[in-house]
Amino acid sequence: MRPFMQDTGRTRVLEDVMLNDTVKGFPPHQQALLSQVGGRGWSLLRGDIPLPAAIIKLPALERNSRWMQAFVKDAQALLAPHVKTTMCPAIMRRQLADGAWGVTVATVQQMRLCRRWGAGRIILANQPVGDAELAGIVEELRRDPGFDFYCLADSPAGVALLTQAALRAGLERPIQVLVELGYTGGRTGARGVDAAMTVARAIHQAGPALALAGVEGFEGMLPVAAPLGQPTVTQFLADMATLYRRCRDEGLFGMAQPLLTAGGSIHYDLVLEAFAGLDARVVTRSGCYVTQDSGIYQKAHEALRAKRATAGGLERALEVWAYVQSRPEPGLALLTAGRRDFGTDAGLPVPLLLSRAGAAPASVDGMGWEVVGVNDQHAYLRIPMDADLKVGDRVGLGVSHPCTTLDKWQLLLVVDEDYTVVDAYRTYF
């Protein structure tokens, strides 16, 4: 089979676009190719970059990528990071170069972008149902016999649509399908093991158009503990393992080593523990680890480290920086960033760093600073009455849930430990 990543030259052409100040975060009256930005010597702290700006701390990103790869490898499992988090070819290629088995996407459009960026193994973590989407899948499979592709099905109706698309296209190899298990009140997925077995049998019976390639589920929105009778992460993962064994024992799988895959960015450790010892290729699909955050995922990671007493670990690589624009009343500052610049679905951003007149950032964590509200272009920062904060100061914000911050930026400025710009990454949301 073809290697997981190909460098066809198309990736370089796709990325190396001309940038100017029509792009948010790019200096005014400047233009440069994306590949040239890192050579300009720009400094965020010196004021070369207009704010707000989203920055990636390169040393932290590199350490995060290596840490997660080592963590999964130690569990004798595989990693297919969900690239919907960043939709960034440079970051995706770093994850693959560090050893990721493949990548995960949410849509066919994302799949096609990842193909252009060189990905040779992709899990589409959804059931495709539209004519255009199904046609896009079968065309890519027909175009490249080495493309290792997987998608989901959670109903006989979904299986029928996949089967019809494969037969219409005259594919000479089966579409590899994972039966998706869900839970009552959850997102997609067959409701319960028995219902999922019905789907699995339908996939098996659709051969040679389809092949049952494994079992999939998403545990990320489930709690560790819940009232009696309510689903928990542990129970759901046990149900996934049961479904896998039943499919195996009935001889439904169409490949020698099927996949057993789950794992968002919170419970990936529980996934690896629950599936250890099964005769499956265990694949976890965390996406947010590569940038980490300062909210829900950081709290989950701290709990993991405490439980395992591990050294090192994931660290914040994503920050949004803004100016103090106004000090209209005591105890309040207005910042030049708002909901158009960071996500608020998992909590408001956290003020972490302060820089004045080009000085190295100083931590303000634990000093009683708090973002208490946002508008489209402003954040309301409550501070102690005696806080030393002036108009023109720069504030570095941490975010919760990187996905809904990154999708607000076409351009991510990549900085070193001194906040000098060393590279620039393009996103494709």
Q: 419 near 425, Cβ under 8 Å?
A: no
Work out how many domains the chain is built from and give that number.
2
- Let me know if residue 303 belongs to a domain: no
| Chain segment 204-259, per-residue pLDDT in tens | 999 999 999 999 999 999 989 888 778 899 999 999 999 999 999 999 999 999 99
As a whole-number percent, the residues of the chain with pLDDT over 90 amount to 92
The secondary element (H helix, E strand) that includes residue 160 is helix 156-169
Model pLDDT for residues 46-68, shown as the tens digit of each residue: 999 999 999 999 999 999 999 99
The DSSP letter of residue 180 is E
Q: 378 falls in which pLDDT band (50, 70, 90)?
A: very high
427 token code pair: 């996103």
| 127 contacts 151 by C-beta, under 8 angstroms | yes
Q: What's the whole-number mean pLDDT along residues 183-206? A: 97
Residues 227 and 131 in one domain: yes
Residue-range definition of the domain harbouring residue 150: 59-294
**Predicted pLDDT at 8:** 46
With a cut of 80, say whether residue 390 has pLDDT above it: yes
Tokens 């480290």, residue located = 305
Range 330-345 average pLDDT: 98
The last residue of a domain, from among 227, 261, 294: 294
Query: Are 218 and 109 part of one and the same domain?
Result: yes
Same domain, residue pair 49 and 136:
no
Average pLDDT for 338-362: 97
Residue 354 corresponds to which tokens in the numbers above? 């302060």
H/E element holding 65?
helix 58-74
If asked whether residues 30 and 143 sit together in one domain, one would say: no
Interatomic CA distance for residues 353 and 283, integer angstroms: 37
Domain co-membership, 88 together with 130 = yes
Whether 39 and 64 map to the same domain: the answer is: no
Reference 236, options 212, 215, 259; nearest CA is 215
* Domain edge (last residue) among 247, 263, 294: 294
Residue 301 is assigned to a structural domain of this protein: no
Q: How does pLDDT run across 274-321, given as a tens digit for each residue?
A: 999 999 999 999 999 999 999 999 999 999 999 987 778 999 999 999
Going by pLDDT thresholds of 50, 70 and 90, the confidence category of residue 1 is: very low
pLDDT at 108: 98
Position 4 in a domain = no
pLDDT score of 309: 79
Q: Give the residue from 294, 323, 355 where a domain finishes.
A: 294
**φ and ψ of 21, to 5 deg:** -80, 10
In the prediction, which pLDDT does 14 show? 57
- Average pLDDT, whole number, for the chain? 95
Q: What confidence score (pLDDT) does residue 229 get?
A: 77
Residue 37 within a domain: yes
Question: Do residues 73 and 53 share a domain?
Answer: no
Residues 40 and 70 grouped into a single domain: no
**3-class secondary structure for 306-337?**
HHHCCCCCCCCCEEEEEEEEEEEECCEEEECC
Buried b (16+ CB within 10 A) or exposed e, 139-168: ebbeeeeebbbbbbbbbbebbebbbebbee
Residue 195 belongs to some domain of the structure: yes
Claim to verify: residue 274 and residue 171 sit in the same structural domain: yes
**306 located within any domain:** no
Return the pLDDT at 4: 54
| 304 inside domain | no
Are 237 and 349 members of one domain?
Answer: no
CATH of the domain at 98: 3.20.20.10
Does residue 81 lie within any of the structural domains? yes
What is d(CA 137, CA 186) in angstroms, rounded to the nearest whole number?
27
Nearest Cα neighbor of 386 from 331, 327, 324, 323 is 331
- E runs forming strands in 263-408: 281-284, 318-329, 332-335, 350-355, 362-363, 370-374, 379-382, 394-398
CA–CA separation, 37 and 239 (whole Å): 50
Rounded to an integer, what distance in angstroms lies between the CA atom of residue 408 and that of residue 52?
Answer: 11
- Residues 281, 354, single domain; the answer is no
What DSSP state is assigned to residue 423? E
* Mean pLDDT calculated for residue range 160-189: 97
Task: Please tell me whether residues 268 and 177 are part of one structural domain.
Answer: yes
Reported confidence tier of residue 272, pLDDT bands at 50, 70, 90: very high
Per-residue pLDDT for 7 more than 70? no
CATH of the domain at 404: 2.40.37.20
Q: Which DSSP state fits 203?
A: H
- Nearest C-alpha neighbor of 381 from the set 326, 306, 312, 317: 326
* Residue 230 confidence (pLDDT): 82
Tell me how many degrees the CA angle 383-388-390 measures, rounded to the nearest 5.
Answer: 95
